Amino acid sequence: MSDSYYLGIDVGTGSARASLVSATGKVVASSTVDTKTWRDPDDHRIFEQSTDNIWASICECVKTCLAQSGIAPEAVKGVGFDATCSLAVCDADGAPVQVTRGAGLGEHGERNIVLWADHRAEREAEVINKSGSVVLEYVGGTMSVRFIPLSSSRNGDPQNPLAQNAHAPPPSSRAANSSTSPDFLTYRATGDTARSCCSLTCKCSYVPHKAGWQDEFFEKVGLGEMVKEGYRAIGAGRVAGAGHGGGGGESAVLSPVLTAGQPVGRGLSKKAGEEFGGLREGTPVGSGVIDAYAGWLGTVAARCVGEEEKEPSLDESRHRLAAVAGTSTCHLVQSPEGVFVPGVWGPYKDPVFRGWWMNEGGQSSTGQLIDFMLTTHPAYAELQSRAKAQGTNIFAVLTSLLESLRVSADVATLTELTLDLHLYPDLHGNRSPIADPRMRGALTGLTLDSSINDLARKYLATLQAIALQTRHIVDTLNEAGHEVREVYVSGGQATNRGLIQLLADACGVPVVLPVDYGGAVVRGAAVLGRFAAEVARAQKEGDGGMGEREQDEMLWRIMVEMTPPGTRVSPAASAKEKKLLEAKYKIFRESIEIQKRWRDEMEEAAK
């Protein structure tokens, strides 16, 4: 397969990216194009995007990759997609339907994606979380405000608590087909309406091992119209008693539910092939996954530098936590059996490997939190000026400043610079393991200091808070039955060695960094493209009857072959620093209880 290449396409929060990757994992070309996001100036909860804008950005990226690499289009043997798990709303022909509130809601319009970060459905989340449905057992007991059922439909019943959802298109609108972003992309690429088990299970209340869709849940929370229409509104229609989702309402439409990377339809459509710069019609397209899961695919099979001869097994994946760190951070760990973890999403059945389960923790704001703490400080302009004068970046300046402060204070560790400074990081609500969107940030230890040295200390406190919250998630996973032995970090935060060392020290386990820290997610998408190509070839050659185990082994082999060795960063805290971090962790946990108590007291006083 030396002349075979695989196209990975990743749609993140603010950009689309494409990479051409060889069968050995070498990235031969990559391109990124920014995408549009609309915010409501009167409502900080609103985040919207456009499928037309995203698709145009993808096409530009793919054409650039082909031009940069000089690779003939016919050498691209498979295509894989990942995207944020956002809600895309279209009409029956795939044309965008506006989700922006106001007179245009439900009509044709560019702004047709409710982005994952959107929190407009807080009230609806409260209603659903009181339903007592079995689906709540598979999201850590509490459904996040970001889950798809919260804003995907309403049935118009004035007696039902979700019927008057002002955020969802009205029943009379043009909206006929809602889907997660990964499924929209495979639909746009192939014309096939197959849906991803990853998307449906992780964000749409689909429970594969319990016959799929749970009619009782959707009827109870006011989405009974979905049941009547065979769940056509969110893309996966069904026939009574047929496979996934069998039982309950009937529908003339049946959209298959595919696990990660399984071939979608007949492959790339002629139109999509042309839009991608001449890719061959019929090129296999793998069923897509949520972007964090692509990051898991692109990292956890890695060997470590110096240990290349040790080939990891699929069984070892259960001890490897992937931390996909960007604007926010997702924490993913796989297990052969379902592990129920309070406040952590899952366990999800079959999101990547058939027969395996996944738990998904997360921090609502990490990279975004660092940016906020820096850019809102009075000394930020001075920090930028120093970086420019020194010909470096702001993080290098901050690292140097902190070391100078440590020497001046005559202390052994940086942690001693923040003995009285403690940040609780949930400025955008808590995703895991508290699962409370109303949690807010807190900063203790303020002084009348607005200097650049104060900025450096607050930057350090921010990194500490992110590391301590990661430990909170890891501790909760392990207490429930997981056994995390290593953390595999990808995304922009992997370049921050101060944060990485803090993660290792706070969690007490090694952290593994990929060679291509920023390309792990799109590499995972390319893995899906290769898997689709190999499965399609096997089916064409008459070996289409592979069982779950054979397909699992094939996918894991591809992951190992396409993931370069990573660098291991081991815990290195001295005894004193361990003691200090332990004390900070205790304060971190106490901050949660204090905030909850204060909130209850204020709500009681406001009655």
Distance CA(592)–CA(436), nearest Å, equals: 11
pLDDT at 170: 58
* The length of the chain, given as a count of residues: 607
Superfamily of domain 1-86+178-190+261-298+514-563: ATPase, nucleotide binding domain (3.30.420.40)
Distance CA(328)–CA(192), nearest Å, equals: 31
Model confidence, pTM = 0.89
Burial degree of 337 (CB within 10 A; 0-12, 13-18, 19+): exposed
CATH 1.20.58.2240 positions along the chain are: 367-470+574-605
CATH 3.30.420.40 positions along the chain are: 1-86+178-190+261-298+514-563
pLDDT at 103: 79
Q: Give every residue of the chain whose pLDDT is below 50, as ranges.
A: 1, 151-166, 238-253
On whether the 367-470+574-605 domain is CATH 1.20.58.2240, my answer is yes
Strand intervals (E) in 282-377: 285-290, 320-325, 329-335, 345-349, 357-363
Beta bridge mates, 304: 566
Pair type for strands 43-49 and 38-40 = antiparallel
The residues near 539 (Cβ < 8 Å, ≥ 6 apart) are 263
Distance CA(584)–CA(380), nearest Å, equals: 26
Distance CA(117)–CA(177), nearest Å, equals: 21
pLDDT tens readout for residues 425-468: 999 899 999 999 899 999 999 999 999 999 999 999 999 999 99
Contact 97, 173 (CB under 8 A): yes
Contact 525, 8 (CB under 8 A): yes
